[in-house]
Amino acid sequence: MSRLHDLTVAELRAGLDERRFSATDLARAFLDRIQASTLNAFIDVRPELTLAQAAQADARLAAGERAPLLGIPVAHKDIFVTEGWRSTAASRMLADYVSPFDATVVARLRAAGAVCLGKTNCDEFAMGSSNENSHFGAVRNPWDPQAIPGGSSGGSAAAVAARLAPLATGTDTGGSVRQPASMCGITGIKPTYGRVSRFGMIAFASSLDQGGAMGRSAADCALLLSAMAGFDPRDATSIERPTEDYRRDFGAPLQGLRIGLPQEFFGEGVADDVRAPVEAALQVLRDLGAVTVPVSLPRTALAIPAYYVIAPAEASSNLSRFDGVRYGHRAAVHTDLASLYARSRAEGFGPEVQRRILVGTYVLSHGYYDAYYLQAQKLRRLIADDFTAAFGQVDLIAGPVSPTVAWNLGERSDDPVRNYLADIFTLPASLAGLPGLSMPAGFGAAGRPVGLQLIGRVFDEARLLAVADRFQQATDWHARCPAGAA
């Protein structure tokens, strides 16, 4: 049982059902790996709570119950509030907050029998592309500890890649599931906006935030997403659609599948060591029967300015509740209510969060709302129209996830705009509310992973996962393991 972390979710499922090991054995094996890890992927681990959930799963298994995730360990990004564990959003503002209830995603996975391993590190309030903006310190990439893991779901991505957890939840506002999945060599999917409940998800940008699934393979992500997704009356943005089995199209041939390649995704900004693996992955899809078609998303370059107006504006509104009065960090020294607000927020929020609050407040202020915020919303509509036009010609869209492989820790700390530019290929789908998936496609410079991004029409998650699964049946990139995790 010393190698349980090597097993796929399907193999773990079979082992649990055949009683070759117990959910408690499995939980202990992963807790031991987490304790020994130096990646800083977890913020809060509470073995007593994990083992209690594992014992409950064992009781259900002993009673003859069978379910896809029963007894399977999962890690939760510390954006989802989780009863009994700290729920901090990786911020000093909430550093000691323990939630009295579960987010809908957490509650659904708990009901499905999944065993919570703990809360994973992330960029503060999910704001960032490198997982360096955390009150609890940066997360390290399992493939190269000197590199970032991507963000903001970098802790979840690193945990799955390093075999600290077989599955993990993440959130994606502008690419925060897909980009770290790419940089850590795992599979991650952001579903259509509204597929996964935001109830109990600590808000960043409400019209963009969406929960996502992270695992080694498309098959793993399909299992996790099937349990996470579904209508939630407590979330006003939740879409009322029947639940789905996202594995339903697995095994379908790719013959005749039309894959659009936007010219804007393959321009000069893409590094050669990213371009080559992406092109090779596309050739595999062609060999499997797919047809690639040139398309255009002409407003791709406008996604960054549109996003970095809309998202900070919504962050400014959402984070106004953290004022040092009701809950969260309260400054010890203050003279009146105004100074309490100012000092608490200055101490509680990190530099990136403060930067985005200031930008958001500015673009929402009188005299600038029409000039910036409304214009950004108009651009958002035009970006969505570009996708509509492209999907008139193709079934899905493919391209790089990020223009480069993971960069070194601290390399871009003094250049936030350069960090923002790393999201150029993930932002358009987020602004349009479309599903997007990242799957391992090879390696670039210094052996750092490269991902291929697939973007689908609304509610087309099953097709994206089926195509990714077919690719993964023909390749082994998703099965590669960092040397330190073996």
Tokens of 148: 């970032």
- Give the pairing of strands 291-295 and 449-455: unpaired
Which stretches does DSSP call E strand in 28-72?
Answer: 42-44
Radius of gyration in angstroms for the set of CA atoms belonging to the chain, rounded to a whole number: 21
Count the alpha carbons within 13 Å of 137 in the hemisphere toward its beta carbon: 8
Place of tokens 């871009």: 412
Q: How far apart are CA 290 and CA 329, in angstroms?
A: 53
Cβ neighbours of residue 421 under 8 Å, at least 6 residues apart?
269, 304, 403
Q: Which of 202, 175, 189, 186 shows the shortest CA–CA distance to 228?
A: 189
Q: Which of 152, 122, 101 shows the shortest CA–CA distance to 44?
A: 122
State the maximum Cα–Cα separation within the chain, in Å, rounded to a whole number. Answer: 70
Query: If residue 25 lies in a helix (H) or strand (E), which one and from where to where?
Result: helix 23-36
Q: 176 an active-site residue? A: yes
Q: How far apart are CA 317 and CA 228, in angstroms?
A: 27
Q: How far apart are CA 254 and CA 376, in angstroms?
A: 37
Q: How far apart are CA 11 and CA 347, in angstroms?
A: 47
3-state SS class at 108: helix
Q: How far apart are CA 278 and CA 272, in angstroms?
A: 10
Rounded to 5 degrees, what are φ and ψ at 165?
A: -155, 140
Tokens of 464: 């994206």
| DSSP β-bridge partners for residue 73 | 115
Q: 344 an active-site residue? A: no
Q: Catalytic: which of 129, 176, 197, 430?
A: 176
Cβ neighbours of residue 74 under 8 Å, at least 6 residues apart?
109, 114, 115, 116, 117, 165, 166, 167, 168, 169, 224
CA angle, 107 as apex, 103 and 113 as ends, to 5°?
150
Count the alpha carbons within 13 Å of 441 in the hemisphere toward its beta carbon: 32
| DSSP β-bridge partners for residue 172 | 210
Q: Which amino acid is at 333?
A: V
3-state SS class at 119: strand
Q: 119 an active-site residue? A: no
Q: How far apart are CA 224 and CA 171, in angstroms?
A: 13
Q: Which amino acid is at 477?
A: W
Rounded to 5 degrees, what are φ and ψ at 444?
A: -110, -145
Q: Catalytic: which of 129, 152, 344, 402?
A: 152
Q: Catalytic: which of 37, 77, 153, 182?
A: 77
Residues recognised as catalytic = 77, 152, 176
